[in-house]
Structure 1
Amino acid sequence: MAEADFAYSLAVDAAGLPLAVSIFADDRVLLDQMQDDVAQAGLTVRESGDLAQLLAGDVRALGELVLVDCPNPDAAAMAVLARLDSRAGNSGARLILSTNIEALDAVFACCCQSSPQILVNPLRAERVIALGRVLADIPNLRVRELSEEDRLTLLRLTEQVGHIAERLDRLDSASGWGQNAGGGAFRFESPKEGYRTENDLIRKPRPPLPDARLVRQIIAQRKARAKFFDDYLFADPAWDMLLDLTAARVEHQRVSVTSLCIASGVPATTALRWIGQMIEAGLFERVEDDADRRRAFIDLSDKAADAMARYFEEIGQGALMAA
């Protein structure tokens, strides 16, 4: 099959609106639903069709925003997604890709240039939220710049809306109603270069990271709460992922994006949003697999490892068991 080529054109009017959108999905009901949601968001659907149209080898002009539902991508589809990611990265187009948990690692690995939103078995509400995040990120549409605290508040709010949507979906499924459409306190900001506290004019050497067995025990204790309380009551994906990656770093183990999503204790789509925020904040790093370009891993950055080591030293191992 000839390699698909894509030529993006930024179709906007004099006011910078509306965005042109391309939609590809094999599920006809889902395709119609996505078109309706795009229209409700005030965007223009340039074209829509099944994945075969996206996989066709002819040159095509796509919109500034491309939505693709690829729950079970084969090798040919993965190659086209990689090409799509490259073109989007170069042109500034936005991608929203939906898939399933089994294909997540492969989809994540082939999308390294465009920072797409990846949704895992999303509800309709989660797709709408993804569209809203695109609109909030477009300079011409933004009312004001979002501060770090604003972005994290929006992320928390997004999670809450997702939780509500999931609960409503469960209620609808149980009762037969409807159709199943298938400024936090934690600031992700590293001290700036040259930063010194009054008592830290000479920075101490980094202490060693704690024993991985201790960190794994803390993780197990945190997960045990779910036996007695609602999972969402204690949801703290950023911290749970930091703990998991800290243990993995000590064990010299690589962590896949799917494994890290599971460790987060929240739905995969929510976990992916947090992973993106943590990468942007310089706490996580994406590491390509040199032996297999279809895989990518997540690791702590050196700054995050330094912070975790100092945290564990600060609170002392006696207090760690209560973490």
Structure 2
Amino acid sequence: MTGAFIAQCITNLELQILEADARFTDAVQRDEEELRAFNILQLTHEEDRVTNARHIENLQLYREPFVIVKRYVRADGSVCWVRNHVSCTSNGAGGTVYLATVELIEPPEEGERALVGVAKRMLKRRELRCIRFGEDIFSEVAADILIDLFVSEHMSRDVYVSSACLASHVPPSTALRHLALLEERGLVARVADPFDKRRFMLGLTPCGRDKVIALLEAVKRTEAI
């Protein structure tokens, strides 16, 4: 079943689970009645909740679907890795709900996961500095975008232009200027969304990926000192 579509889950705008099919309940080892008492983030592994919450916030603001690789915590404490495709849809009564289609996937490769861990720590440290001192002092927009794209690539998560702007923690106009520079340097490329030609997804070029990996490996060596 790995890599195949396995399940659907529907939540309200407060992320409370409304419906889950049998394949979803099997994956998380909880029955549908039990799941209705859960907020979807409560089922999500604690290390994945912040990223998941940020994408949901973006969905609420821009109604932009997203893809995220994350872990659900099962009733017995074990985890299952999934790739969720999340979007807004009508509830049939004039309201809106969130629909997640779910793929069961293999855990990420160990070697790459170590570098992703380094990347996440770098982003977290940057976030903490900005909270303490303000974003105008510790602004690392281009680096934040590149590192976030690396993490997203590893997690098979699509990144749209607006998502990249959100991840950079600066006004959209500032983020777009840095994106243009990264494209000009051949580090980032835009690809048209095959389902909506008005939107563009972002990704690292081979050159951009090599440079980010070299940076993360250097940072990893310093962490070991």
Question: How high is the TM-score relative to the length of structure 1?
Answer: 0.34
Question: How high is the TM-score relative to the length of structure 2?
Answer: 0.47
Larger radius of gyration: 1
